[in-house]
Structure 1
Amino acid sequence: MNTFSYYFTFLVIIFIIGPKSALAQKQDEYKVVVNHEEQYSIWPVNKNPPKGWQETEILGNQAKCQDYIEEVWTDMRPLSIQKMNLPENTEYFVVINHEEQYSIWPKELALPKNWKPTKIHGTLYPCVKYIKKAWTDMRPLSQRKGRMIRKN
């Protein structure tokens, strides 16, 4: 095979399966899902969300979905905790589940099943700030394909 044929074949392969190809872009389409506790996540468009999660109208690539979530989900506590109207000085844990998804939970309450505390704790704002910095991929661990986006 001459050099031209080699490079031409390489370029054709990149065009067909490269990151900007229609095939790759279709695989990278996501939807925003929300549960009854008003917690958000990103889920592949070609898969049904897990039990207890509802699809929203938001579709797009991972960055678009994540930007939407960051815009609307500013509290990050489950709705049931928000409704408790806890005082501003309430201490919280940043908690994480087996899917490496984060939330915020009052230190004084027993943790829900399948959630464990991280080493991070404090009042609401520092916990939210930590999650926004640390949680760079809002897809559940089971739905990641080894690709992550970087937050600036």
Structure 2
Amino acid sequence: MGTNPFDDERHQFRVVVNDQGWHAIWPDVRDIPRGWRSVTAPGDRQACLDYIGESWTDPRPAEPDSP
């Protein structure tokens, strides 16, 4: 059984964000899932975690837009 790409430090990662503003790291060897978009270039896992720590200051879901 192979190494999980989410845990494999040899891979490059990206920070992805969804419409609610949630952040996650995503292995660059995988397609970004629907509803998420990349906000960083590929980088090492720790750099992505650092980016999330600096930029995602409020982990609550974004408020829905008012009509």
Q: What is the TM-score of this pair, normalised by structure 1? A: 0.35
Asked whether the equivalents of residues 58 and 65 of structure 1 are also in contact (C-alpha less than 8 Å), the reply is: no
Aligned CA RMSD, in angstroms, stands at 2.0
Where in structure 1 are there 5+ consecutive unaligned residues?
A: 1-23, 84-152
Shift of 1:33: 0.3
Shift of 1:58: 3.5
Deviations, residues 55-88 of structure 1 (Å, cap 9, x unaligned): 113421110000000000011011127x7xxxxx
Structure 2 residue aligned with 1:55: 38
Confirm or deny that 1:35 pairs with 2:18.
yes
- Of Structure 1 and Structure 2, the greater helix share is in 1
Percentage identity across paired residues of the two chains: 36
Asked whether the equivalents of residues 19 and 36 of structure 2 are also in contact (C-alpha less than 8 Å), the reply is: yes
Where in structure 2 are there 5+ consecutive unaligned residues?
A: 1-7
Amino acid corresponding to residue 24 of structure 2 in structure 1: S
- Of Structure 1 and Structure 2, the greater strand share is in 1
Amino acid corresponding to residue 72 of structure 1 in structure 2: S
Distance 1:40 1:54 in 2: 10
Task: Provide runs of 4+ in structure 1 moved above 3 Å.
Answer: none
Structure 1 residue aligned with 2:54: 71
Aligned residues: 58
Decide which structure has the larger Cα Rg and report it.
Answer: 1
